[in-house]
Structure 1
Amino acid sequence: MILHELITYDTLRLIWWALIGVLLVGFAVTDGFDLGSGILLPFVARTDLERRVVINSVGPVWEGNQVWLILGGGAIFAAWPQLYAVSFSGFYLAMFVILAALILRPVAFKFRSKREEPQWRSRWDAALFFSGIVPALIFGVALGNVLQGVPFRLTDSMQIRYDGSFLELLNPFALLAGAVSVAMLVMHGAAWLVLKTEGPVADRARRWGMLAALATMALYSVAGLLLWAFIDGYRITSAVNATGPSNPLLKTAEVHAGAWFANYAAHPWTMGAPAAGFIGATGALLALGARRGGLALLAASLSIAGIILSVGASMFPFILPSSIDPRASLTVWDSSSSHLTLFIMLVTTCIFMPIILAYTTWVYHVLWGKVDQNAIRDHSGHAY
């Protein structure tokens, strides 16, 4: 028996669908509080010292947190090449704006402290706010568009034709999804600041975090109701060949009202994802009210995981539906890499993922504790 045949092709496809979800959640949970802290910077910090406290709370860890974004992009490229090709071509301008914002963030970290002039530092503070809110918003907008279907088609030779534009991505439902993303990351960032800071900064972060938790639950509820009432899902109408070739055009599919909620009826355990979104946000609200930063951070992480995984649970087996040619929609069963490629990647992941998790755990252990304002004031500690 060939080694990679130890795991069947359909099982590997399912494993990698789940792993992509894990990587997306990993990025949102780790880098999410960095983005949320940047969004909160103008609202929780009023003096230069307070702003430096906020910046130094995320300064030592934000670079390591972005490893999850690199892993996610690399995994999509290798495991789901058609998904990578369609999404990165169709969402090209949106991805460019996200990358520009993420590139601006380290520049702001490094250059802000080079001069002491208030105007100089206020400009870089604005850049940190921009680099926090833009990715948070656009990532949510992207998910909102995925749920509605993306205007692409495939030719018989598998060439991609994208018929949309950047402005079409900014439709009402997608902007609502973006608002959900911003609210949940602000909640997450506030929990982090309550955990890592003291005094007025922590108090203001707690208040903003409680508002963000309420907004997360409200906006997520509205998005779910609109998705159920007004937005059609997709379903496969032909036989499913889970071990067949990666050619989306071999199937037939159609737009069908209520299809995104069919999985919840067929598999009630999937209701755990949206339930986790609400339970986590409620837990974060209560923990922030009790000034329990660590518990609030865990609860906010649960909420983020639940909200993101609810998208995957609703859409399965679709990964990227096409709004103009449902037959071209990409699914778990017809858009992956080869059997051998998925197996090699899985073996590599089993080796290196524990190393990344161990290293990340060690870094957070070393950097545990609250930011010391006196060390910042005396220039005896902290980087920024």
Structure 2
Amino acid sequence: MSAIPLDYETLRLIWWLLLGVLLIGFAIMGGRDLGVGALLPFAARTDEERRVLLNVVGPTWEGNQVWLVLGGGAIFAAFPPLYAVSFSGFYLAMIVILLALILRPVGFKFRGKISDPRWRQVWDWALFVGGAVPALIFGVAVGNVLLGAPFHFDGSMRAFYTGNFFQLLMPFALLCGLVSLGMIVTQGAAVIVGRTSGLLAERARTHGTLAGLLTVVLFALGGFWVAFGLNGYVITSAVDPSAPINPLNKTVELVRGGWLANFGAHPLMIVAPLLGFAGVIIAVLALQARWRLVPLLAASAGIFGIISTAGLSLFPFLLPSSTMPNAGLTLWDASSSHLTLFIMLLVTVVFLPIVLLYTGYVFRVMRGPVSAASLTKNPNAY
């Protein structure tokens, strides 16, 4: 191990940051597609308008899924106990998300096969479900992480999840789900406004403004709830960031407002929630000003700030336990080995820039407005 140039603590912290980058990357890039799908039945009134929206995201949505795949892969390889507990405990929620996401490729491919309006309307609503449901459930999942998941370990370190699907639908978790849905819809509206025109863009502007304002209000409400009505998990024992993994080798207490402890210890972290508020507010103002690019950049910054706020609040926790607090998983006691993290980092240094360059190239090629006239010139259009 001495040949590895980075110590175990540093590698663990790097992979925590990389996991955050991948999840935020999916929220921003995949949020474009989810948001447009969630707005499909409302922003577009005619079949022609809905075809325009499908072709706004159609050429790039599959590539944006890479961020979700990379995020799941990073959890599996860098934090195996987190993968084991979350993917088994939240199994039904994961199935709902996957089924909803499956509706998107099916909807894209089958909607145009028959010209019957009723056939297309069914697939329009399927695409709506494929956009709105994952956006909502991902936020509910973050809310449940802040609440703590009902799991524990036995003497042989076997994990047992004792909750059920309906226990995930707690009021605070649903609030987080609505924040997630609101910011994703704002993102989708910004994409539509940036690449379309006329009544379609105007309707998207209206819906995006309402979603953005709702996001700001609910995000603020969530902040007050975390500060004054929610118990946070605080590690009260000494922590060795370089120790071998053992989730039970610590003591944890529940403290009212405990999730704000990191912001008190590191005041500069306040930049994250401020960016969340400012990004969404600027996106709303830019939508009303009828700018094209600024709403998307601002909405993306808002997503970055909101998700970063949750991540910084949780640090160093990855998944707290509500039934056995000292079994909560942190990046210090739920990571892969020193060597594994280092080898994965080398692979990431090589391939992540390739993903970024290819994504940038694709969006550059596919840039420009989409209209009914442009669809007639493209035989491959949806």
Distance 1:137 1:341 in 2: 34
Closer/same/farther in 2, CA of residues 360 and 287 from structure 1, 3 Å limit:
same
1:145 corresponding residue in structure 2: 144
Is 2:137 the partner of 1:109? no
CA contact (8 A) 1:375 1:382 kept: no
Q: Secondary structure at the match of 1:250?
A: coil
Residue 49 (str. 1) matches residue 52 (str. 2): no
Is 1:99 the equivalent of 2:64?
Answer: no
Paired letter, 2:323:
I
- Indicate yes or no: 2:149 matched with 1:157: no
Q: Does 1:362 align with 2:361?
A: yes
Partner of 1:166: 165
Other-structure match for 2:3: 3
Distance in 1, Cα, partners of 2:109 & 2:3? 48
Letter of the 2:332 counterpart: W
Contact 1:179–1:219, Cα closer than 8 Å, also in 2: yes
Q: What is the letter of the counterpart of residue 186 of structure 1?
A: V
- The equivalent residue for 2:329 is 330
Deviation of 1:379 after TM superposition, in Å, equals 5.7
Give 1:2 deviation, angstroms.
4.1
Q: Deviations over 1:142-200 (max 9, x none)?
A: 00000011100011211011110000001111111000000000000000000111111
1:21/1:317 Cα in 2 relative to 1: closer, same or farther (>3 Å)? same
Whether the aligned pair in 2 keeps the contact of 1:56 and 1:382 (CA below 8 Å) is no
* Contact 1:38–1:129 under 8 Å retained in 2: yes
User: Which amino acid counterpart does residue 127 of structure 2 have in structure 1?
Assistant: L
Question: What percent of counterpart residues are identical?
Answer: 58
TM-score (norm 1): 0.98
Structure 1: segments with no counterpart, 5+ residues: none
Per-residue displacement from partner, 1:15-49 (whole Å, max 9, x unpaired)? 10111000000000001010010111111111100
Q: Write out aligned runs for 1:72-91 (5 A).
A: 72-91=71-90
Q: Mind listing any 5+ residue stretches in structure 2 that lack a counterpart?
A: none
Q: 1:38: which partner in 2?
A: 37
State the aligned residue count.
382
Alignment partner of 2:332: what SS?
coil
Name the SS for the 2:241 alignment partner.
coil
**Given that residues 229 and 257 in structure 2 are in contact (C-alpha distance below 8 angstroms), is that contact kept between their aligned partners in structure 1?**
no
Q: CA deviation at 1:382?
A: 4.8
> 2:373, 2:235 → 1: CA distance?
61
Deviation at 1:372, TM superposition (A): 2.8
TM-score by length of 2: 0.98
Instruction: String of CA shifts for 1:322-346, please: whole Å, max 9, x gaps.
Output: 0011110001110000000000011
Is contact 1:375–1:381 with CA below 8 Å preserved after alignment? no
CA distance in 2, matches of 1:64, 1:380: 20
Q: C-alpha distance in 1, partners of 2:155/2:19? A: 28
Q: Do 2:233 and 2:259's aligned partners in 1 also have CA atoms closer than 8 Å? A: yes
Runs of 4+, deviation exceeding 4 Å: none
* Alignment of structure 1 residues 112-131 onto 2, 5 Å: 112-131=111-130
Farther-moved stretch of structure 1 (186-195 vs 290-299): 290-299
